[in-house]
Amino acid sequence: MSNTVMQREPGAPSQTEIERVVLPHLDAAYNLARWLVGNPPDAEDVVQEACLRALRFIGGYREGDARAWLLRIVRNTAYTFLEKKRPAALSEEFDESLHVPEDAKANDVESEFARSADSRMLQAALEMLPVRFREVVILRELEGLAYKEIAEVMEIPMGTVMSSLARGREQLREKLLKAGWKEAHRGVRE
C-alpha cells in the first residue's frame, strides 16, 4: 500500500467553498426547480445538474449573493431541461407590450398565501400559470427574494420583474377565483 495523499486539482473548488456557496441553498434550488419543471423526479435531476454546473464554474462566483447565483444556474438548467423534454411548456412568452394591471396592489397575493386554508387549490393555480410568471411569483412569494435578486436570477430588468409579478399575481388571482375561491371568504379583493 502506498501512503499517497489525495490532492485536489488546481482550480477545483474547495470543500469550504462548496459548503459556503452551494449547500446552504439546496432547498431553495429544489423548490425553484420543482415549480419550474413540475415534478419531484425531474426537479431532482435539474438540481443535480445545476450543482454540477455550479461546482464546475464556482471559480466564476464573485462574492455576492450566493443564493441568487445558484438559483440563476438552477433556472438556466431547468429551462434547458424544459427545452429538451417539454418545449410546449415554454411556448407562452412574456410580452412586455401587453398592459399591466392598473392596480397591482389590489392583488395582494402575499395575504392570499398567508390566509390560504386550501393549499392544494393554490398549488394547482400556481401550476396553471405560464412558466415565466410562475417563476417570478415563486421567487418573490415563496423564496422571499427582493426584486433586485429576482432580476439577477432571471437576468431581466427590475421593471420587468415588477410587471411580470403583477401579471403573474393577477393571473393567479383569476385562476383562484375561477376555481371557486370566494372573495369574502378568502380575502381576495377585486
* pLDDT tens digit sequence for 80-102: 999 888 665 555 544 433 333 44
Q: pTM for this one?
A: 0.63
- More confident: 94 or 65: 65
Question: What number of residues does the chain have?
Answer: 190
DSSP state of 65: -
Does 66 score more than 90 pLDDT?
no
- More confident: 76 or 86: 76
DSSP state of 96: T
Spell out the CATH class of 15-90.
mainly alpha
Note the CATH number of domain 104-186.
Answer: 1.10.10.10
CA 29 to mean position of chain CA atoms:
8
**Measured between alpha carbons, how far is 169 from 110 in angstroms, rounded to an integer?**
9
- More confident: 72 or 183: 72
Report pLDDT digits (tens) over 151-187: 999 999 999 999 999 999 999 999 888 877 654 344 4
Please, where in the chain does CATH 1.10.10.10 lie? Answer: 104-186
Q: Are 143 and 118 in contact (CB under 8 A)?
A: no
pLDDT at 119: 72
pLDDT at 13: 56
- More confident: 59 or 124: 124
